[in-house]
Amino acid sequence: KNEVEQSPQNLTAQEGEFITINCSYSVGISALHWLQQHPGGGIVSLFMLSSGKKKHGRLIATINIQEKHSSLHITASHPRDSAVYICAVSIYNTDKLIFGTGTRLQVFP
Amino acid sequence: DGGITQSPKYLFRKEGQNVTLSCEQNLNHDAMYWYRQDPGQGLRLIYYSQIVNDFQKGDIAEGYSVSREKKESFPLTVTSAQKNPTAFYLCASSLPGQLRYEQYFGPGTRLTVT
Per-residue model confidence as pLDDT tens digits over A53-68: 999 999 999 999 999 9
Return the number of other C-beta atoms located less than 10 Å from residue A97's C-beta: 25
pLDDT at res. B37 = 95
Angstrom distance (rounded) from CA A67 to CA A26: 10
Contact (CB<8Å) B43/A95: no
Contact (CB<8Å) B107/A33: no
Closest approach of B75 to chain A, Cα-based (Å): 18
Cβ pair B88, B108 in contact under 8 A: yes
pLDDT at res. A54 = 96
pLDDT at res. A95 = 73
* B34 phi and psi angles, rounded to 5 deg: -120, 130
Number of cross-chain residue pairs from A and B with Cβ atoms under 8 Å apart? 53
pLDDT, tens digit (0-9, with 9 covering 90-100), for A1-41: 689 999 999 999 999 999 999 999 999 998 999 999 998 88
* Closest chain B CA to residue A29: B101
pLDDT at res. B40 = 85
> Which candidate from B44, B45, B88 shows the least CB-CB separation from A41?
B88
Give the pLDDT of chain B (114 residues) as one tens digit per residue.
Answer: 669 999 999 999 999 999 999 999 999 999 999 999 998 889 999 999 989 999 999 999 999 999 999 999 999 999 998 999 999 999 999 987 655 668 899 999 999 999
> Which candidate from A30, A44, A100 shows the least CB-CB separation from B42?
A100
